[in-house]
Amino acid sequence: MKLYIYILVPLVLLGALVVGGIFILPAMDSPEGKLHAQIDEPIELAQRMLYAYDATAPHLDQAFAAATTQPDSIDGDKWRTHLDVEGERNPFAANPALKDRLSSQGQLLRQLSQEIAGMTGEEPVAPPLPGPGEAQRKLLEYLKDNHALLDAALAKVRQAINTTVGEGESEARGSSNPTATRLEAILLHHKADLMRREAALARAAADVQRKRAGRVLAVCRDLDQEIQGHKSLLAGGTAPGMAARTVTRPSALPSAATKPAPRTGGWWIFDKLAKQVSPREAVPAPAPDTGPQEEPGLTPPPSEPEVAEAPPPPGPAEVVPPLAARLAALQKQRAETVVNADAAQAEVDRFTKDIGALTARLEEAKSRARDAELKMIAAQQKGLDTADPKAVQPFVDEYRRLSQANREALREAETLERGSIRNARPANDDPDHIATSPLVPAEPGKPMQPERGLTALKTDLATAQAAVQANKTLLREIDRQIAELTARREIGEDRLEQLDGQRRQLMAEVSRLSGAAVVAVIRADQLEKEAIDLASGNGLQAAQRAQTAASEYQRAMQAFVRSENPVDTPDRKLSDMASDQFTSANAVLTQADLHYLIARTYVQQAADLRPHQQLLTDTASLGMAVQADPQTLPEGLSADAAPACATSPDAAAKTIEENETKAAEAAKQALDLYTQAAGQLKDLWVVHANIAAIHTMLAQLPPLPGDTEDHLALARQTYTRAIQGREKRPDYPTYHRIAEGLKKETAPPAGN
């Protein structure tokens, strides 16, 4: 209901009472006349105080929301620089009307400055732009002054209501005065509405703290991801959202396509390293194509079109072992590698010693073979005395002995160099089978002895030396990985400690901001409860008293008209006064306004608790319990008495549901009363605007049981009907914007 209605109606009622008093009270010294003489002054003072009260100024949730969203100290030049930004970032880009209004105000300011300069001869100095802190302080002072103004007006009205003149049947009471009683209800409505607006300021402050806490929480989540990454590196883990599998890591040295050196004995134990350092096998030649060949002169059948294969699904995540386990595995592998390297070096030493001894034996065998051969040559050169028959046989025997010694020495040298099996001969002497015949002992009863030659020993020595070099290379790689992982662990631990410290600081900041939001919510909840209690208690009682007084006044007026108005020639004005329901209808409107105020307060509380519930849920997910600082709680409120919806997300959700139901119930009561008053006031357009606002609110609230009306459609119809033909009214653009928004199904939030 607009403010001028609240001002105009009491004045009209007062004028009607004065006019009615002329006809009803023949003598000004009657109790009623004396009562009016006594209460006129306090009622007039209260009406002037109400006129001085500007209900539209403290739009706390809209006009003054910026007062809590900026730091206390703001440079005015920076704001001017911000307003001069071009392009999409310019705040005037989305609202050109704001720029036009600002330009007109600037032009008006320049004109006033020129006029002042013409009168005083000096250019006026522009006052500094107040910061948000100063604006908020002035706003709180404004609220305090408004509370004091309404309290003073209520005191004057109650003074008039408590006034009595006369006794017995001639007693006149101020509580029966329709103007005074309705003015009391109107003032109580404004008092409760001012509490709601003050609570809206607290809600706005809470929302600022929640947004700041939300930004810090976003940084905390990023830190948590980084911390989890470092913990996964240090403690191991797997990629989220993917199945884990055990990864078999390849050995440090490749072993593919390798073949161990040919064995000539059974004591080589370094099979693993031998496979890695042995010469690679020759790549076999490709097998001949045995598939069907295309015959010349024949056209091959057309091939089917190739179908693109779907990309393979992503493989499972790799299980990353803990860094400590990786270091322990590397240390273990290093110890094993050191043992293997020592064993390989021992083999190198042994093979070197064996090669030296075998080389000496080989040289000795070659020397014997050479000596025998030289002796044979010398014997041949000396010749045989053929004249002496006895000299032939000794010569032959000696030559055979030398030849046998030469062959044995050469065979020994060949065995020592190439290797062989001693005391072995083919089981079958047939030349055709000698190559495949198995070996048997040449001297039965003696075992066959394999003899590794110098060539085999040199091959074993080269293999052992390669194993030593491979183990040294492996040791260097292991040491490099150990150093790298150790450095990574130290860096990770240092970074993790740093991130933990940052997170603790951020969580402390979140706790501080969340606590401030909780305090603001508690303060707002306290003010809203006081507003609801005032509106539903004293406010509705005063409105009911006003309706009773209006009904009594209407009955008295009708009785007077019946007694004074001639039946044959009735006075039209008197007849209109008897049938007029303006006084009682406005009392009904006051009750409807109070119910509407109660509904708006519940909606305001529920709307703010939704982001607050989200904040509580977010902080709980991080293991933080939000608590209010007892030192910052409103006066007279302890931490134990604070509402649960301020600190518990479950309680907040329950309160939201309850408040929306209570808001819908209060809105339905207001709708019924507005509809009743609209009929009595002959469909006054302002009443229909309020009815449309109620339908808009109900369209955005959960429906009550049994409520099947399409409130959004009713809101569109009622708004269109209310503003039709009123395009020249100053408030028409506001109602027109709301009606157009409802047509696009973008109704404004309920309660605004």
Q: pLDDT tens across 197-244, in order?
A: 999 989 999 999 999 999 999 999 898 888 888 888 788 766 454 444
The percentage of the chain sitting over the pLDDT mark of 90, rounded to a whole number, equals: 30
**Strand pairing class (164-165; 420-422):** unpaired
Q: In the predicted model, what is the mean pLDDT of residues 27-54?
A: 81
Please tell me the predicted confidence (pLDDT) of residue 10. Answer: 54
pLDDT for residue 29: 62
pLDDT over 60 (residue 9): no
The closest alpha carbon to 500, from 291, 227, 241, 297, belongs to: 227
The mean pLDDT of 181-190, rounded to a whole number, is: 92
Mean pLDDT of the region 426-452? 84
Pairing of the two strands 439-441 and 424-426: antiparallel
Please give the pLDDT value at position 130: 62
Cα 57 to Cα 139, 141, 291, 413, 542: the distances in Å are 10, 13, 96, 121, 25
Question: Per mean pLDDT, which of 37-41, 263-267, 370-374 is the most reliable?
Answer: 370-374
Confidence of residue 251 (pLDDT cuts 50, 70, 90): very low
**Percent of the residues in the chain that have a pLDDT greater than 70, as a whole number:** 74
pLDDT-based confidence at 501, cuts 50/70/90?
Answer: very high
Q: Say if CB 750 and CB 695 are below 8 A apart.
A: no
User: Comparing 640 with 527, which gets the higher pLDDT?
Assistant: 527
**pLDDT higher for 655 or 85?**
655
DSSP state of 538: I
Question: Predicted confidence band at 301 (pLDDT cuts at 50, 70, 90)?
Answer: very low
Question: φ and ψ at 338, to 5 degrees?
Answer: -65, -45
Task: State the distance between the two ends of the chain, measured CA to CA, in whole angstroms.
Answer: 13
Element at 380 (helix H, strand E):
helix 323-382
Indicate the pLDDT class of residue 84, thresholds 50, 70 and 90.
very low
Per-residue confidence (pLDDT) for residue 482, from 0 to 100: 94
pLDDT of residue 612: 94
What pLDDT is recorded for position 311?
55
Token readout for 264 is: 């000539």
**Does residue 426 surpass a pLDDT of 80?**
yes
Contacts of residue 274, Cβ cutoff 8 Å, sequence gap at least 6: 260, 261, 268, 463, 467
Give which of 72, 131, 83 is closest to 105, Cα–Cα: 83
Q: Which 8-state DSSP code applies to residue 320? A: B
Would you state the pLDDT for residue 255? Answer: 40
Locate all alpha helices (DSSP H) within 565-581, ordered by sequence: 572-579
Banded model confidence at residue 542, pLDDT cuts 50, 70, 90: very high
Residue 671: the pLDDT is 92
Distance separating alpha carbons of residues 440 and 448, to the nearest angstrom: 8
Closest Cα partner for 272 from 349, 352, 339, 355? 339
Q: Which two tokens stand for residue 96?
A: 């050109």
- Burial degree of 598 (CB within 10 A; 0-12, 13-18, 19+): buried
CA angle, 342 then 347 then 351, to 5°: 150
Distance between CA atoms of residues 646 and 515, nearest Å: 10
Q: What is the pLDDT of residue 724?
A: 83
Are 512 and 142 a contacting pair, CB within 8 Å? no
pLDDT averaged over the chain?
A: 78
Give one word for 43, left, alpha or beta, with left for phi > 0 and alpha for psi -120 to 50.
alpha
Summarised one tens digit per residue, pLDDT across range 604-629 is 999 999 999 999 999 998 888 888 77
Which tens digit of pLDDT belongs to each residue from 107-132? 888 888 888 888 888 888 776 666 66
Average pLDDT over residues 628-634: 75
The mean pLDDT of 381-394, rounded to a whole number, is 79
What gap in Å lies between CA 1 and CA 488, rounded to an integer? 71
The pLDDT assigned to 391 comes to 79
Q: If you ran DSSP here, which 8-state letter would residue 62 be given?
A: T
Residue 669 clears pLDDT 90, i.e. is over it: yes
Q: What is the mean pLDDT of residues 643-671?
A: 93
pLDDT in the model for residue 101: 76
